[in-house]
């Protein structure tokens, strides 16, 4: 039974997580970039570089195309809001945060989809060739990635008999330590979806300057200053959210239990460690892989869907 | 004698490469071009000059090449209507050169079908021609609005993507108009000429040594090739031969330029398929070569080391030792990196079959240089027309016949290793001394000379015409990009849009080199 004292704490911690994710997300991006630099024999710009970029962008004057409509202007705020919300409702340090009660996995996928719809519409709003090109490719990638993501989440839902993220995490992290073969397949599928949805190599290249090969970057080519800053920040938050989902589903161990506020410091330390490891792993993946031809992306994401369905099947067959 | 024709009398130039020159009237031009083409020959360059002050009209110059050597034809044209027969029906590569000859000098290829402007972008009036001696710059400059009639592709679902001239990365400016359906490219049309600097006009007021400096700056990545070609042309007019030490030195610099550029391109090709690891590794190696260049020769890109008459640099025993060490290091490192590229499934999937130029098409359109050799066009000036010291080096030509991005990568790797071998051989023959070079200060009057050097991209040609006082009346540097740009339009057909940057980089052509 939750006491008033607990509720107050919960609200405080929810606020803390909101702040934590929004401040920590650029650091994660910086960490991934720095790891890549090290792996490529470069010295790199340092883990704080994304913050410097954000500061620079917020200090600039925005340039907006003459024919841009309100859609183009509001999209950065909507995308940023969506990603912030997504990153804030995933239970990463404690399971009983107030927002988490609203965190249904289907709703979460919906939040991501909402951001995508707006950014694609905004890309087409100003009518440049690159914007439409990027939006078209984004849709090609995401309509394949989304079902795979849902399948991954459903596998976890089947095990915990709930689509509520806190329930899923609670079941997986605390009740008994079992290796679920179904989750192993789901984890593989999830990594593929993470790469595709976050515009990473081998599906997209976040650092490219080649406008004809871009997917995500092509959509945001016309954004500048604060709008671009918000979108960049939202991209960091999205990566953070995805890695958080990965941690919540596959390695939630160490997360603070309901009412166990004393476990929080350890939970935070463990979370940071997991994020560092995941970021380094992402950097390794991106360094050893080349970008694939865009028409290979459906095969790649088809594999993710197949793996996720296999996970589901294994759960049915073995009950694990 | 490379061409036999009753109306053409050729005289041999005392040149480092086998070259002939002769006058021909416009009515026989087509016939002679056809004869060279039928014999497997190619068009190297086409340019014009204004000789009205010497009592003539205009001259059209065409350099052709067959297995015996270069032939430079001079076609006298009247001052009033300088028209000549269109030769792009024989050599398709002539199309853009003819259009440029009109934009710059007003020489008109009648019978032709394509008379759109090429290098003129509304910076000067359509009726004024910058390379004419009576050109008045002040009265001709303008800001006409840009209108260029691109070829329209029609049909359901076809749309256009205009790209450039301003790009997201730091590359040269050029406009690409894609007509696509979905991601498939139906047609690509290039519109270049955004970097016109008036270099050819500038030569007219320069001395022979100042001209060497300018020639070395036509295309920064090929500065050695241009400087050598210019020096070769000047030495051809003056009928002098540089010391053998100077020639060995030039070959060393040229091979170093080739190594540096191939290293850079191999890195870029990795970068374009998002294998940043390859990019970083190859550029570390390139940087090492450039730093050694700076330490040994005083310039990272080796500018102004080759001058008419000789070279302005030397290499002592210690320097040789550094280069030998560098060659060993590159040999080892590049072999490792080549293995990584070869065995990386993702990289090979992007490279193989992308941007194919069939050997037949390459021959038809005149693809040359490194890209040509990747499409089975076995032309290499170091082999066919080996000037000293290449006549003593026995260069092994790298060819491949697939004509795709992978083939251009293979040819680059092979040429890189061959250049390392050549550098070692050159060093054996290179003697060290500090003799001052016998610089050419003055050229004989009314001379004509031509220089041809196999740069890393392909054959670089420089032609020099001197006037009554031995001054430079017309200098025409010709970049192999002239021939190869149109092939890029063909290479990209039926590929997908996101593969274009990779295909483009595999050719790595110069925007500036063909727009002086």
Confirm or reject contact between B163 and chain A (CB < 8 A): yes
Which 255-274 residues of chain B touch chain A by CB within 8 A?
270, 272-274
Contact list in A for residue B270 (CB cut-off 8 A) is 290
Assign residue B67 the CATH number of its domain: 3.30.460.80
Q: Which residue of B has its CA nearest to A293?
A: B350
Contact list in B for residue A42 (CB cut-off 8 A) is 280
User: How far separated are the first and last CA of chain B, in Å rounded?
Assistant: 33
Three-state SS at B24 = coil
- Phi first, then psi, for residue A63 (nearest 5°) are -110, 125
Q: Specify whether B107 is located in the same domain as B183.
A: no
Contact list in A for residue B355 (CB cut-off 8 A) is none
The verdict on whether omega for the bond into residue A241 sits within 30 degrees of 0, i.e. cis, is no
User: From the list A129, A202, A213, which residue is nearest B161 (CB)?
Assistant: A129
Q: Specify whether B271 is located in the same domain as B229.
A: yes
pLDDT of A258 reads 65
Q: Specify whether B174 is located in the same domain as B215.
A: no
pLDDT of A180 reads 81
Confirm or reject contact between B169 and chain A (CB < 8 A): yes
Best of B169, B271, B276, B352 to disrupt the A interface by mutation (most A CBs within 10 Å)?
B276
pLDDT of A192 reads 95
Contact list in A for residue B344 (CB cut-off 8 A) is 290
Indicate if the alpha-carbon torsion angle B484, B490, B494, B500 is positive or negative. Answer: positive
Q: Specify whether B213 is located in the same domain as B279.
A: yes
Residue B141 lies in a domain: no
Parts of chain B with a pLDDT under 70: none
Q: How confident is the model at residue A320 (pLDDT cuts 50, 70, 90)?
A: low
Q: Specify whether B95 is located in the same domain as B173.
A: no
Distance from CA of A130 to the nearest CA of B (A): 8
Residue B150 lies in a domain: no
Q: Specify whether B389 is located in the same domain as B480.
A: yes
Contact yes or no for B450/B72 (Cβ under 8 A) = yes
Outline where DSSP puts E strands in B124-209.
158-163, 175-181, 184-191
Determine how many CB atoms are found less than 10 A away from the CB of residue B159. Answer: 14
Contact A287 B499 (CB under 8 A): no
Contact B274 A202 (CB under 8 A): yes
Confirm or reject contact between B183 and chain A (CB < 8 A): yes
Q: What is the mean pLDDT of residues A112-131?
A: 91
* Residue A296 pLDDT > 60: yes
- Phi first, then psi, for residue B302 (nearest 5°) are 65, 30
Q: What is the mean pLDDT of residues A176-191?
A: 84
pLDDT of B175 reads 93
Residue B23 lies in a domain: yes
Q: Specify whether B217 is located in the same domain as B76.
A: no
Q: Nearest-5° angle of CA B275, CA B278, CA B282?
A: 150
Contact B500 A212 (CB under 8 A): yes
Distance from CA of B508 to the nearest CA of A (A): 14
Determine which helix (DSSP H) or strand (DSSP E) holds B85, and give its type and residue range.
Answer: strand B83-85
Determine how many CB atoms are found less than 10 A away from the CB of residue A278. Answer: 22
pLDDT of B126 reads 83
User: Length of chain B, please?
Assistant: 516
Residue B293 lies in a domain: yes
Contact B163 A293 (CB under 8 A): no
Q: Which residue of B has its CA nearest to A211?
A: B168
Contact list in B for residue A36 (CB cut-off 8 A) is 276
DSSP tally for chain A: helices H, then strands E:
11, 0
Indicate if the alpha-carbon torsion angle B2, B35, B92, B52 is positive or negative. Answer: positive
Beta bridge partner(s), residue B83: B108
pLDDT of B73 reads 94
Contact A291 B350 (CB under 8 A): yes
DSSP tally for chain B: helices H, then strands E:
16, 15
Q: Specify whether B115 is located in the same domain as B207.
A: no
Best of A195, A210, A218 to disrupt the B interface by mutation (most B CBs within 10 Å)?
A210
pLDDT in tens, A37-81: 999 888 999 999 999 999 999 999 999 988 889 999 999 999 999
Q: What is the DSSP letter of A224?
A: -
pLDDT in tens, A195-251: 999 988 898 888 888 888 888 888 888 999 999 999 999 999 999 999 999 998 888
pLDDT in tens, A46-58: 999 999 999 999 9
**Could you tell me if residue A91 is left (phi over 0), alpha (psi between -120 and 50 degrees) or otherwise beta?**
beta
Which residue in A306, A276, A243 sits closest to A32, CA to CA? A276
Contact list in B for residue A293 (CB cut-off 8 A) is 349-350, 496, 498-499
Residue B513 lies in a domain: no
Q: Nearest-5° angle of CA B203, CA B205, CA B208?
A: 65
Three-state SS at A165 = helix
Q: Nearest-5° angle of CA A26, CA A32, CA A38?
A: 135
Q: Specify whether B77 is located in the same domain as B19.
A: yes
Contact B160 A129 (CB under 8 A): yes
Which residue in B310, B281, B313, B308 sits closest to B294, CA to CA? B313
pLDDT of A2 reads 55
- Phi first, then psi, for residue A16 (nearest 5°) are -65, -40
Q: Specify whether B220 is located in the same domain as B101.
A: no
Best of B498, B500, B502, B505 to disrupt the A interface by mutation (most A CBs within 10 Å)?
B498
Which residue in A132, A40, A257 sits closest to B340, CA to CA? A40
Torsion of CA B423, B424, B426, B431, to 10 degrees: 120
Q: What is the DSSP letter of B312?
A: S
Contact list in B for residue A208 (CB cut-off 8 A) is 274
Contact A40 B276 (CB under 8 A): yes
Confirm or reject contact between B162 and chain A (CB < 8 A): yes
Q: Where are the domains of chain A?
A: 4-318
Contact A295 B497 (CB under 8 A): no
User: From the list B160, B168, B346, which residue is nearest A289 (CB)?
Assistant: B346
Contact list in A for residue B170 (CB cut-off 8 A) is 209
Give percent above pLDDT 70 in chain A: 96
Q: Which residue of A has its CA nearest to B176?
A: A212
**Residues of the domain holding B185:** 158-191
- Using DSSP bridges, classify how beta strands B69-77 and B58-66 pair: parallel, antiparallel or unpaired: antiparallel
Count of structural domains within chain B = 3
Contact B168 A293 (CB under 8 A): no
Torsion of CA B339, B341, B344, B346, to 10 degrees: -170
Task: Give the Cα separation of A79 and A123 in Å (integer).
Answer: 13
Q: Residue B513, class by beta-carbon neighbours within 10 Å (0-12 exposed, 13-18 middle, 19+ buried)?
A: buried
pLDDT of A3 reads 66
Long-range Cβ pairs for the range A261-270 (8 Å, 24+): A261/A9, A261/A94, A264/A13, A264/A93, A264/A94, A267/A93, A267/A94, A268/A93
Contact A293 B350 (CB under 8 A): yes
Rounded to the nearest integer, the mean pLDDT of chain A is 88
Distance from CA of B303 to the nearest CA of A (A): 29
Confirm or reject contact between B284 and chain A (CB < 8 A): yes
Q: What is the distance of C-alpha B183 from the center of its chain?
A: 32
Task: Give the Cα separation of A160 and A181 in Å (integer).
Answer: 15
pLDDT in tens, B43-74: 999 999 999 988 889 999 999 999 999 999 99
Distance from CA of B410 to the nearest CA of A (A): 18
Contact list in B for residue A138 (CB cut-off 8 A) is none
- State which of B119, B140, B171 marks the end of a domain: B119
If DSSP states are collapsed to H, E and C, what string results for A236-255? HHHHHHHHHHHHHHHCCCCC
Contact yes or no for A213/A55 (Cβ under 8 A) = no
* Residue A282 pLDDT > 90: yes
- Using DSSP bridges, classify how beta strands B69-77 and B19-23 pair: parallel, antiparallel or unpaired: parallel
Task: Give the Cα separation of A156 and A33 in Å (integer).
Answer: 30
Residues of A with CB under 8 A from a CB of B: 36, 39-42, 129-130, 133, 201-202, 205, 207-213, 221, 287-296
Residue B461 lies in a domain: yes
Q: Specify whether B218 is located in the same domain as B165.
A: no
User: From the list B273, B279, B497, which residue is nearest A291 (CB)?
Assistant: B273
Assign residue B204 the CATH number of its domain: 1.10.645.10
Q: Specify whether B95 is located in the same domain as B21.
A: yes
Distance from CA of B460 to the nearest CA of A (A): 29
């Amino acid at each position: 039974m939750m006491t008033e004292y607990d509720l107050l704490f919960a609200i405080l911690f929810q606020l803390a997580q909101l702040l934590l994710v929004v401040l920590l997300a650029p650091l994660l991006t910086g960490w991934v970039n720095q790891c890549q630099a090290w792996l490529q024999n470069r010295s790199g710009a340092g883990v704080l570089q994304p913050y410097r970029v954000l500061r620079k962008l917020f200090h600039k004057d925005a340039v907006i195309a003459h024919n841009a409509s309100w859609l183009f202007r509001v999209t950065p705020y909507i995308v940023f809001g969506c990603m912030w919300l997504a990153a804030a409702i995933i239970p990463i340090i404690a399971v009983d945060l107030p927002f988490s009660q609203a965190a249904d996995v289907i709703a979460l996928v919906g939040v991501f989809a909402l951001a995508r719809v707006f950014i694609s519409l905004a890309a087409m709003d100003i009518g440049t060739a690159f914007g439409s090109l990027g939006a078209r490719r984004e849709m090609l990638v995401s309509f394949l990635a989304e079902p795979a993501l849902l399948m991954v989440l459903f596998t976890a839902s089947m095990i915990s008999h709930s689509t509520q993220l806190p329930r899923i995490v609670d079941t997986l992290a605390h009740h008994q330590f079992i290796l679920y073969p179904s989750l192993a397949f789901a984890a593989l599928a999830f990594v593929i979806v993470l790469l595709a949805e976050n515009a990473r190599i081998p599906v997209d290249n976040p650092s490219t300057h080649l406008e004809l090969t871009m997917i995500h970057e092509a959509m945001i080519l016309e954004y500048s200053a604060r709008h671009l800053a918000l979108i960049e920040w939202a991209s960091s938050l999205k990566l953070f959210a995805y890695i958080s989902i990965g941690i919540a589903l596959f390695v939630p161990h160490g997360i603070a239990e309901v009412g166990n506020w004393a476990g929080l410091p350890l939970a935070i330390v463990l979370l940071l460690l997991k994020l560092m490891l995941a970021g380094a792993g992402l950097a390794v993946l991106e360094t050893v892989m080349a970008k694939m031809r865009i028409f290979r992306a459906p095969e790649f994401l088809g594999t993710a869907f197949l793996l996720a369905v296999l996970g589901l099947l294994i759960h049915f067959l073995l009950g694990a | 004698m490379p061409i036999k024709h009753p109306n053409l009398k050729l005289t041999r130039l005392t040149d480092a490469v086998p070259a002939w020159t002769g006058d021909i009237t416009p009515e026989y031009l087509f016939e002679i071009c056809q004869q060279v083409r039928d014999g497997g020959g190619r068009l190297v360059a086409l340019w014009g000059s204004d000789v009205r002050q010497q009592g003539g009209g205009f001259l059209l110059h065409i350099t052709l090449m067959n297995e015996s050597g270069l032939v430079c034809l001079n076609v006298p044209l009247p001052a009033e209507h300088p028209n000549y027969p269109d030769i792009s029906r024989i050599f398709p590569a002539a199309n853009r050169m003819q259009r440029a000859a009109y934009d710059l000098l007003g020489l008109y290829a009648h019978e032709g079908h394509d008379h759109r402007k090429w290098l003129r972008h509304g910076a000067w009036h359509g009726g004024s021609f910058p390379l004419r001696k009576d050109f008045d710059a002040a009265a001709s400059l303008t800001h006409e609005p840009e209108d260029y009639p691109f070829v329209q592709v029609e049909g359901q679902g076809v749309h256009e993507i205009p790209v450039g001239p301003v790009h997201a990365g730091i590359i040269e400016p050029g406009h690409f108009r894609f007509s696509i359906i979905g991601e498939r490219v139906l047609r690509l049309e290039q519109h270049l000429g955004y970097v016109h600097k008036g270099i050819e006009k500038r030569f007219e007021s320069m001395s022979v040594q100042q001209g060497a400096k300018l020639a070395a700056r036509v295309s920064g990545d090929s500065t050695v090739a241009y400087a050598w070609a210019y020096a070769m042309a000047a030495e051809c007019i003056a009928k002098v031969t540089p010391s053998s030490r100077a020639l060995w030195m030039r070959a060393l610099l040229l091979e170093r330029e080739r190594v540096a550029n191939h290293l850079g391109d191999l890195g870029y090709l990795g970068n374009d398929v998002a294998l940043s690891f390859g990019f970083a590794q190859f550029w570390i190696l390139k940087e090492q070569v450039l730093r050694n260049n700076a330490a040994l020769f005083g310039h990272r890109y080796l500018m102004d080391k080759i001058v008419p008459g000789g070279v302005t640099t030397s290499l002592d025993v210690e320097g040789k030792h550094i280069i030998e060490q560098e060659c060993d290091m590159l040999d080892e490192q590049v072999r490792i990196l080549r293995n990584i590229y070869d065995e990386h499934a993702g990289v090979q999937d992007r490279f193989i079959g992308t941007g194919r130029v069939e050997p037949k098409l390459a021959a038809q359109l005149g693809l040359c240089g490194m890209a040509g050799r990747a499409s089975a066009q076995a032309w290499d000036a170091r082999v066919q027309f080996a000037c000293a010291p290449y006549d003593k080096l026995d260069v092994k030509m790298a060819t491949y016949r697939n004509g795709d991005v992978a083939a251009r990568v293979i040819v680059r790797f092979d040429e890189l290793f061959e250049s390392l071998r050549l550098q070692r051989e050159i060093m054996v023959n290179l003697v060290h001394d500090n003799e001052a070079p016998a610089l050419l200060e003055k050229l004989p009057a009314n001379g004509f000379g031509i220089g041809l050097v196999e740069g890393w991209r392909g054959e670089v040609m420089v032609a020099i015409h001197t006037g009554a006082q031995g001054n430079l009346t017309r200098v025409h540097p010709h970049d192999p990009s002239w021939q190869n740009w149109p092939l890029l339009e063909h290479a990209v057909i039926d590929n997908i849009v996101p593969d274009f940057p990779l295909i483009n980089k595999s050719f790595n052509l110069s925007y500036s080199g063909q727009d002086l």
